[in-house]
C-alpha cells in the first residue's frame, strides 16, 4: 500500500479539482474538511459477557440535509476510512444532482463472527446511540447499506428508530436500502451494480472516449475482470454478462479466484457462494490473489474495497479501462501511474452512485407514503389501449399480438426506478465526459467529476453567505 491514507488520496483529487476551479483556499478548506465525526463505544451483553464495540458516524457536509451515506461493518473500520467515504458521499450526491449532504458510518466488527441474533442486538444498540444524537433521522441523517450490511440490518435500524419515535409519521425514511415489505423500494438491492452497467453502456456510446482506450465499439464480447462478488460486484457482473454480452473471465474473491476464458457463469457461481460460503471447489478455482487484477482484459471492475490498486501494482495493470465499482479502489499514487500509462478510469463517485440514487427514490417514496406508479399505471394502460384501437381502426389491421402486452403495460415501480436510475447515470457521465474533453487542462474523468461536484457544493455554500 502507498504511504498516503484513503482520506489523503481523496484530498489529493479534491485539491487538483479545486485548483483548476480557482477556489479560494479558505472555501476549499471548508468544503474539504469533515464537519464532525462521532465515535461511540458501547457495550452489549452477549455470549455470557459484555462486549464493547466501536462505531463511527461522520457528517462531511450539511450543505443539503438530510446527509446521506452507508454504514459498513468491517473489522478494520477507522476514522480515516469513514471520513474519506463521507467526503466521497458529498461529491457523489453533488455530481448526481441529489439534494443530500455527505455522511458515512461504520462499526468495527467482523459480522461473520457473530450469530444473527447477536448482530441484531448490536445493530439495535448502535441505532440507539446514533438516534440519541440525531445521527439517524429522516430529516437530518439517513444511513444505508454498505460493505457487510444489507436489507436485514436496515430493517433492524428502521424498526429500532420507529420504536424510539412512535409518533414520527416519516420514521421509515430514517434509513434506505430496507426490504420491500418494510418500506423499501423495488430495485434498491441491484441499484449499485445496475448503475455500473448503465455507466459502462453510456461510456460505450461516447465514441471518442472509447477510442482513447483502444477498445473496439460496444460492450459485447469485452473481457471483464471483477474483484468482489458481493452486492455490487455480483449485480454488475450478472447484468454485464447476461444483458450486454460481456465475458467475465476472472472473478477475484476472498481466498482465491475463478478463471474461465470462456466466461464465468455468474448466477451459478453466486449460488455456489451462497450455499458454501465461498468460491472454493467451483470449477476454474485457483489460489491466485490480487495478481488477478493484472491479467489481460478489456475492463477491470474492482468491486470489493479501497486501495487494491496502488503504487505497487498499478504499472502492471493491463486493462485499458477501469470502472471503480468499489469506493476508493485506486490510490492517488496509482491514479497518476495509470494516467501516464493511458488507462482510462471511470471514478467511484460517478460509477457506483446507483445505490444512493435509488436510496433517494426510496426516501421520497417513504415521505410520500405511496408506491411509484400507483396512481398512473392503469390510466396509462387505458390510454395505450385506446391508441392501439385507433391505429387498428385506421389501418384495418390488428396490432401484432406478441407486441400488444409490452406496448400496453403501464410503468411499474421497478420500471420507473430503472428509468430514473438510467437517466441519472447517463446525465452524470455525459457531464463528466464533456468537461474532460472540452478543457485541455483536465487530465481525466476523475478530475472532471470532482470539478463538477466541488463547483456545485461551493456555489451552494456561497449562496447562503458562507
Footprint of ligand NAD (CB under 6 A)? 145-148, 192, 227-233, 252-254, 303-305, 325-327, 352, 355
Q: What is the rounded CA–CA span in Å between residue 228 and residue 237?
A: 10
Shortest gap between Cβ of 444 and ligand NAD (angstroms)? 20
Closest residue to bound ligand NAD by CB: 230
Q: What is the rounded CA–CA span in Å between residue 347 and residue 359?
A: 20
Q: What is the rounded CA–CA span in Å between residue 50 and residue 362?
A: 36
Shortest gap between Cβ of 355 and ligand NAD (angstroms)? 3
C-alpha cell at 106: 461504520
Nearer to ligand NAD, 326 or 442 (CB): 326
Nearer to ligand NAD, 155 or 304 (CB): 304
Backbone angles phi, psi at 12, to 5 degrees: -60, -45
Shortest gap between Cβ of 146 and ligand NAD (angstroms)? 5
Q: What is the rounded CA–CA span in Å between residue 97 and residue 312?
A: 35
Nearer to ligand NAD, 66 or 148 (CB): 148
Shortest gap between Cβ of 227 and ligand NAD (angstroms)? 5
Alpha-carbon distances of 309 from 89, 233, 326, rounded to whole Å: 21, 16, 11
Q: What is the rounded CA–CA span in Å between residue 335 and residue 169?
A: 46
Nearer to ligand NAD, 105 or 145 (CB): 145
How far, rounded to the nearest angstrom, does the alpha carbon of residue 289 sit from its chain's CA centroid? 24
Shortest gap between Cβ of 400 and ligand NAD (angstroms)? 40
Shortest gap between Cβ of 394 and ligand NAD (angstroms)? 48
Backbone angles phi, psi at 291, to 5 degrees: -60, -20
Nearer to ligand NAD, 177 or 373 (CB): 177
Nearer to ligand NAD, 94 or 210 (CB): 94
Which residues are within 8 A (CB) of 23 and not within 5 positions of it... i.e. 6 or more apart?
31, 454, 458
Options 92, 104, 178, 365, the catalytic residue: 104
Question: Active-site residue 104, yes or no?
Answer: yes
Shortest gap between Cβ of 253 and ligand NAD (angstroms)? 5
Nearer to ligand NAD, 23 or 72 (CB): 72
C-alpha cell at 58: 461522520
Q: What is the rounded CA–CA span in Å between residue 24 and residue 27?
A: 5
Is it true that the peptide bond before 66 is cis, omega within 30 degrees of 0? Answer: yes
Angle between helices 377-395 and 401-408 (to 10 degrees): 140
DSSP assignments along 402-442, one per residue: HHHHHHHPPP-HHHHHHHHHHHHHHHHHHHHHHHHHH-TT-
Dihedral, 190, 192, 194, 196 alpha carbons, nearest 10: -160
Catalytic residue ranges? 104
Amino acid at each position: 500500500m502507498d504511504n498516503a491514507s484513503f482520506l489523503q488520496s481523496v484530498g489529493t483529487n479534491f485539491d487538483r479539482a479545486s485548483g483548476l476551479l480557482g477556489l479560494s483556499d479558505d472555501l476549499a478548506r471548508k468544503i474539504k474538511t469533515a464537519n464532525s465525526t462521532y465515535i461511540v463505544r458501547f457495550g452489549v451483553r452477549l455470549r455470557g459477557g459484555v462486549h464493547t464495540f466501536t462505531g463511527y458516524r461522520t457528517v462531511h457536509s450539511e450543505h443539503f440535509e438530510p446527509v446521506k451515506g452507508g454504514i459498513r461493518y468491517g473489522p478494520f473500520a477507522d476514522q480515516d476510512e469513514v471520513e474519506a467515504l463521507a467526503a466521497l458521499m458529498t461529491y457523489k450526491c453533488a455530481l448526481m444532482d441529489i439534494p443530500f449532504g455527505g455522511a458515512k458510518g461504520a462499526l468495527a466488527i467482523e459480522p461473520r463472527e457473530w450469530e444473527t441474533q447477536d448482530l441484531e442486538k448490536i445493530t439495535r444498540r448502535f441505532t440507539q446511540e446514533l438516534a440519541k444524537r440525531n445521527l439517524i433521522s429522516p430529516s437530518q441523517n439517513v444511513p444505508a447499506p454498505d460493505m457487510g450490511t444489507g436489507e436485514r440490518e436496515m430493517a433492524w435500524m428502521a424498526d429500532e428508530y420507529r420504536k424510539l419515535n412512535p409518533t414520527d409519521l416519516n420514521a421509515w425514511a430514517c434509513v434506505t436500502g430496507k426490504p420491500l415489505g418494510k418500506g423499501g423500494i423495488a430495485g434498491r438491492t441491484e441499484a449499485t451494480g445496475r448503475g455500473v452497467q448503465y455507466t459502462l453502456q453510456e461510456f460505450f456510446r461516447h465514441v471518442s472516449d472509447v477510442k482513447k482506450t483502444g477498445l473496439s465499439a460496444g460492450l459485447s464480447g469485452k473481457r471483464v475482470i471483477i474483484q468482489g462478488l458481493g452486492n455490487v460486484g455480483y449485480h454488475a457482473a450478472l447484468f454485464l454478462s447476461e444483458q450486454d454480452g460481456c465475458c467475465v473471465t476472472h472473478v477475484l474473491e476472498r481466498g482465491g479466484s475463478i478463471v474461465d476464458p470462456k466466461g464465468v457463469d455468474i448466477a451459478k457461481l453466486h449460488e455456489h457462494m451462497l450455499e458454501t460460503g465461498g468460491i472454493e471447489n467451483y470449477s476454474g478455482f485457483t489460489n491466485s490473489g490480487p495478481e488477478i487484477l493484472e491479467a489481460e482484459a478489456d475492463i477491470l471492475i474492482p468491486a470489493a474495497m479501497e486501495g487494491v490498486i496502488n503504487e505497487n501494482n498499478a504499472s502492471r495493470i493491463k486493462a485499458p479501462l477501469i470502472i471503480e465499482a468499489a469506493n476508493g479502489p485506486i490510490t492517488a499514487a496509482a491514479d497518476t501511474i495509470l494516467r501516464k500509462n493511458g488507462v482510462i478510469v471511470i471514478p467511484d463517485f460517478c460509477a457506483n452512485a446507483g445505490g444512493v440514487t435509488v436510496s433517494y427514490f426510496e426516501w421520497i417514496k417513504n415521505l410520500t407514503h405511496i408506491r411509484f406508479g400507483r396512481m398512473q399505471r392503469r390510466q396509462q394502460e387505458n390510454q395505450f389501449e385506446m391508441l392501439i384501437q385507433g391505429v387498428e381502426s385506421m389501418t384495418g389491421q390488428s396490432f401484432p399480438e406478441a407486441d400488444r402486452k409490452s406496448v400496453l403495460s403501464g410503468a411499474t415501480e421497478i420500471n420507473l426506478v430503472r428509468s430514473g436510475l438510467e437517466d441519472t447515470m447517463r446525465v452524470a457521465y455525459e457531464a463528466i465526459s464533456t468537461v474532460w474533453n472540452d478543457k485541455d487542462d483536465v487530465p481525466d474523468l476523475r478530475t472532471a467529476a470532482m470539478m463538477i461536484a466541488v463547483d456545485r457544493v461551493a456555489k451552494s455554500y456561497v449562496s447562503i453567505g458562507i
